[in-house]
């Protein structure tokens, strides 16, 4: 991704945060991560992230998804014998989120997934999150999610985030963004 595109997406995400009346500092806008997962298709696959805190005990983030953006299927694996992996709670703050986890598949999911990404999705148990709804994902659980037509904002509360160790079902994904 080019720096100009990152700045444009940070501005779009900031506008969505303002629309949702979620306060943030100007510095957080400029330090917001724009994750395109190395596939250069940010309009379909990606998200924007403000990290409030990430330490050895817990993590708090704001996940901003533009209309129909999706975060690809992944899991947070066991780190060692003492750490079972990241456990995360998603709380929808604005918009609508279609969250998919392991379990019985929904025969008519609400997500709109481009065909090129469907082959990397294996979990279709759907939970729809609207403002005030929340869902906790246990460690090492496959999951993915997509915003509805208006976009969405999710507050994430979790154990320590180690994004570099996330395991994605699409082997082409690179979790850490590369900015040119």
Question: Which domain CATH number covers 155?
Answer: 2.60.120.10
User: Tens digit of pLDDT for each residue in 3-12?
Assistant: 899 999 999 9
Q: Is residue 86 part of a domain?
A: yes
Residue 21 per-residue DSSP state: T
Residue 62 lies in a domain: yes
State residue 177's pLDDT score: 65
Instruction: Assess whether pLDDT exceeds 80 at residue 179.
Output: no
Identify whether 44 is part of a domain.
no
The dihedral built from the CA positions of residue 83, 64, 97 and 157, taken in this order, carries a sign that is positive
pLDDT at residue 163 in the model? 85
Q: What is the pLDDT of residue 180?
A: 67
Neighbours of 11 (CB within 10 A): 12
Check whether 99 has a pLDDT greater than 70. Answer: yes
Q: Establish if 97 belongs to a structural domain.
A: yes
Closest C-alpha to 50, from 2, 1, 17, 88: 17
Percent of the chain past pLDDT 90, that is, above it, reads 89
Residue 135: which domain range? 52-168
- 115 contacts: CB under 8 Å, gap ≥ 6: none
Contact 105, 124 (CB under 8 A): yes
Q: Is residue 16 part of a domain?
A: no
Give the C-alpha separation, 8 to 15, whole Å. Answer: 11
Residue 30 in domain:
no
Has residue 102 got a pLDDT over 80? Answer: yes
Q: What's the mean pLDDT in 145-168?
A: 95
The answer as to whether 34 is a domain residue is no
Q: Could you tell me the pTM of the whole model?
A: 0.95
Cα 180 from Cα 30, distance rounded (Å): 16
DSSP run (H or E) holding 115: helix 115-118
Number of structural domains (the chain) is: 1
DSSP string covering 42-106, please? TTTB-EEEEEEEE-SS-EEEEEEE-TT-EEEEEE----BTTB----EEEEEEEEEEEEEESSSPP
pLDDT class of 82 with cuts at 50, 70, 90 = confident
Say if 31 falls within a structural domain: no
């Amino acid at each position: 991704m080019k720096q100009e595109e990152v700045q444009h997406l940070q501005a779009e995400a900031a506008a969505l945060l303002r629309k949702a009346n979620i306060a943030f500092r100007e510095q957080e806008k400029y330090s917001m991560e724009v994750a395109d997962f190395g596939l250069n298709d940010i309009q379909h696959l990606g998200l924007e992230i403000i990290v409030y805190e990430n330490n050895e005990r817990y993590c708090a983030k704001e996940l901003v998804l533009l209309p129909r953006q999706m975060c690809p299927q992944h899991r947070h694996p066991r780190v060692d014998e003492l750490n079972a992996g990241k456990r995360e709670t998603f709380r929808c703050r604005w918009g609508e989120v279609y969250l998919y986890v392991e379990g019985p598949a929904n025969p008519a999911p609400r997500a709109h997934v481009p065909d090129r990404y469907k082959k990397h999705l294996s979990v279709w148990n759907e939970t729809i999150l609207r403002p005030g709804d929340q869902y906790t994902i246990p460690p090492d659980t496959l999951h993915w999610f997509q915003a509805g037509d208006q976009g969405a904002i999710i507050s994430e509360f979790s154990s320590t985030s180690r994004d570099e160790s996330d395991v994605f079902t699409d082997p082409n994904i690179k979790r850490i963004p590369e900015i040119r």
